Structure 1
Amino acid sequence: MTGILAGLRIVEGSAFIAAPLGGMTLAQLGADVIRFDDIKGGLDNDRWPITKDGRSIYWAGLNKGKRSIAVDLRNPRGRELLTALITAPGEGAGIFTTNMPARGWLAYEELAKKRADLIALNIVGDRHGTANVDYTINAITGFPMVTGPVGHQGPVNAVAPPWDLATAYAGAMAILAAERHRRMTGQGQRIVLPLQDMALSVTSALGYLGEAVVNDVDRPRYGNEIFGTFGRDFKTKDARFIMICIFSDRHVDALAVAGGFAAAFRKIETESGVDLKTDAGRWTARAELCAVIEPWVAAHTAADVGAALKKAGALWAPYQTFRELAADKEAVRDNPMFTVLDQPGIGRYPVAATPLQFGALPREAPRVAPKLGQHTDEILSAILGLPDHEIARLHDEKVVGGPR
């Protein structure tokens, strides 16, 4: 392995999003991440989106660059092998991450008997250990009650799973923090990361809880408007949509230049008594700003509006579908973060490497996701030191699986 985390080995027992995405984040930085699954496949091996013949594009996306070992998780010998793998010696080894129930043979206390300096990250639903997923946790945060169009009754769920994503990256950071602590002190530890607490901590940090308590209000729905400043979607002459935002003085001036709005903006300030160079002023006068901007956008094509906004240096973006994004020259096709990979069983499509750019080392190119059990034999041989005849016997007895 190469990359900034070369020499680090993480064993992962995971499903769905938070744990595998955290592991993939480390794998993209050069860590050797070994995912174990049951020989029949994991809980999420067929999760959507899928190809027309049922291959999971989702699974491939979250597990690229990892190695795979397939073991009969119900077989005592299979569990012994995984215990040995998790607790194998080595300076950068002895790191385990899971969102499975970490009890019995996977309990930290049991694994630490084999390696005292073990680092184990356990992602759980809530601090009590109750099962939860992003969608059940999001329900309690309040966000679904402010998401959606003005006047809508009832919750609007998020399409992207924000708390899974935040937990994945927090989990990767936690592993690196614990590994640094181990290098300095020699101590291993168990890390517990509740998905619900991750969501609640972000909700608190963004001021939503503070607003509710201090102002004694429930924020209403504002549709596509950005709360507390100016930002909204606008429809062009050719029925495309663009997002226009104002987050600073410079954005006010740039937008004024793009649409010739300088006089109209000054009039808004004079008649409304606001300063458009402030967030409060833009939020207070958002209806007046829309009344100026909307007719201009509606009278021009998306190409013309985009060209004017780009030339002026305004803050804006076109709305795109996923297919349009895949064909986007700037965002994907010419972006050095992407490589077109041929994922076995799925096909060729652009795959992102890590978004991090380190000055000391070049960015590692993305690697395909493994087939189930693809690396079983090499892991049993190179890490656990099993001879070929023993590995063959394990296959014959269906303790392990994967290509021979």
Structure 2
Amino acid sequence: MGPLSGLVVADFSRILAGPYATMLLADLGAQVIKVESPGGDDTRTWMPPVRDGIATYYLGINRNKRSIALDLKNPDDLDVAQRLARRADVLIENFRPGGLKRFGLDHETVSGTNPGIIYASITGFGSGKGASYPGYDLMVQAISGLMSLTGDPDGPPYRAGISVFDVMAGMHASIGILAALRHRDEHGTGQHVEVNLLSSALSGLVNHSSGFVAGGTVPFRMGNAHPSLFPYEPLPTADGELIVITGNDGQFRKLCQVLDLPDLPDDPRFAHNQDRTANRAELRPILVERLTKRTKDEWFRDLLAAGVPCAPINTIDGGFALAEELGLDPVVTVGDTPGVRNPITFSQTPAEYELPPPALNEHGEEIRAWLTEN
């Protein structure tokens, strides 16, 4: 039994942020009922890639859920949706603010008949002046400043390789839901949890956000370089690049020992992190001259053994291969559908993988019968 066993989640969300949040909850034992329009979640059609004719985008974020298709403009279907909202412990949605009011599925209406409900809303730009803005991750990557930080210094801005703020907002929504559930356990009342992509983005920019808010610094693109650490980037070896990191003076000293540069840590230009960062243009060629004498795999082995953080630059298959090698068992198969293991490990209540991603309305009759009984 997962730690959230017995919790009923009415999932009125679609695309990525909401479904990712509810999959995390479902893995931990929550009973998630995915409410879809008769056309289904948009990600069902986001392909390629595909597996057995189904978009892997959809498969990756919808396991452990039951699906019911409801047309909210149909009175009978709307009645089912409203009964589900009255029965649920949690309702999560990512409609534009106010979009569910006409169906009586907004927070005010639902909490009037289900005062203990945790009602979670995910929007792009909040429920105030940004309510009319569509909530697409790429928009937020641009508006938040992330794209201005991504890419070569003299090149164009780039988006991140994934919808990073959708995922981040989904995790923030999950945290908010769990916190509100704990409050309900203590005080007996539900509440409205609101998460928006832009706020998640500004929080998730962490050191860059703090640099601006607390230090008045507007960061800029530095390619793969780090504004506050050196080395902390790919460096060339005899047969390709290797990520090399020294997060403190001790790690730098170990790096220099492996590179046979024993005097370098005592050079006042490089003795401390702020010195190395200020003098990176002088330090980099010294490190590169040594690193290009051997292959990246040789350096990877020896540097790791000495306690110096480093890494090859893999494609995603290499990342899964290393996780397998380390015993992390990154892939779980539910039915015939492989997916990525939930990243949280519990000592007593492990994540569960019982239901493959559902076909559209696969559990419609079952859910309608359950609502009639309850």
What is the TM-score of this pair, normalised by structure 1? Answer: 0.83
Deviation at residue 257 of structure 1 after TM alignment:
2.6
* Equivalent residues in 2 for 1:299-378, closer than 5 Å: 299-326=293-320, 328=321, 330-332=322-324, 335-341=327-333, 344=336, 349=338, 351-365=339-353, 367-378=355-366
Q: 1:39: which partner in 2?
A: 38
Q: Aligned partners of 2:177 and 2:51: how far apart in 1? A: 37
Which of 133, 139, 143 is matched with 1:136 structurally?
139
Give the partner amino acid of 2:274: A
Question: 1:4 aligns to what SS in structure 2?
Answer: coil
Q: Aligned partners of 1:254 and 1:75: how far apart in 2? A: 68
1:280 equivalent in alignment to 2:274: yes
Deviation readout 1:44-94 (Å, 9 max, x if unpaired): 221244227752101111111112122233311111101111211xxxx43
Q: 1:167: which partner in 2?
A: 169
* Equivalent residues in 2 for 1:3-402, closer than 5 Å: 3-51=2-50, 54-88=53-87, 93-100=88-95, 101-105=99-103, 106-127=105-126, 128=128, 129-130=131-132, 131-152=134-155, 154-203=156-205, 206-209=206-209, 211-212=211-212, 216-230=216-230, 231-238=232-239, 240-266=240-266, 269-270=267-268, 272=269, 274-276=270-272, 279-326=273-320, 328=321, 330-332=322-324, 335-341=327-333, 344=336, 349=338, 351-365=339-353, 367-385=355-373
Give the partner amino acid of 1:291: P
Contact 2:323/2:329 (8 A) holds in 1: no
Change (3 A) 1:116 1:221: closer
Question: 1:45 aligns to what SS in structure 2?
Answer: helix
Q: Aligned partners of 2:140 and 2:218: how far apart in 1? A: 19
Deviation at residue 110 of structure 1 after TM alignment:
2.3
Give the partner amino acid of 1:147: T
Contact 1:104/1:110 (8 A) holds in 2: no
Q: Aligned partners of 1:305 and 1:66: how far apart in 2? A: 45
Deviation at residue 333 of structure 1 after TM alignment:
5.6
Q: Aligned partners of 2:265 and 2:285: how far apart in 1? A: 11
Deviation at residue 321 of structure 1 after TM alignment:
0.8
Question: 1:234 aligns to what SS in structure 2?
Answer: strand
Contact 2:324/2:330 (8 A) holds in 1: yes
Question: 2:195 aligns to what SS in structure 1?
Answer: strand
Structure 2 runs not aligned, ≥5 long: none
Contact 1:122/1:193 (8 A) holds in 2: yes
Change (3 A) 1:75 1:218: same
Change (3 A) 1:335 1:374: farther
Deviation at residue 172 of structure 1 after TM alignment:
0.6
Give the partner amino acid of 1:228: S
Q: Aligned partners of 2:283 and 2:274: how far apart in 1? A: 13
Question: 2:245 aligns to what SS in structure 1?
Answer: strand
Question: 2:219 aligns to what SS in structure 1?
Answer: coil
Question: 1:220 aligns to what SS in structure 2?
Answer: coil
Q: Aligned partners of 2:39 and 2:146: how far apart in 1? A: 38
| Identity value in percent | 26
Deviation readout 1:150-169 (Å, 9 max, x if unpaired): 222x4222222222122111
Deviation at residue 343 of structure 1 after TM alignment:
6.0
Equivalent pairs, count: 365
What is the TM-score of this pair, normalised by structure 2? Answer: 0.89
Q: Aligned partners of 2:214 and 2:202: how far apart in 1? A: 17
Give the partner amino acid of 2:94: N
Question: 1:69 aligns to what SS in structure 2?
Answer: strand
Deviation at residue 315 of structure 1 after TM alignment:
0.6
Deviation at residue 307 of structure 1 after TM alignment:
1.2
CA RMSD for the aligned pairs?
2.4
Q: Aligned partners of 1:336 and 1:380: how far apart in 2? A: 39
Change (3 A) 1:248 1:19: same
Contact 1:339/1:366 (8 A) holds in 2: no
Q: Aligned partners of 1:210 and 1:333: how far apart in 2? A: 37
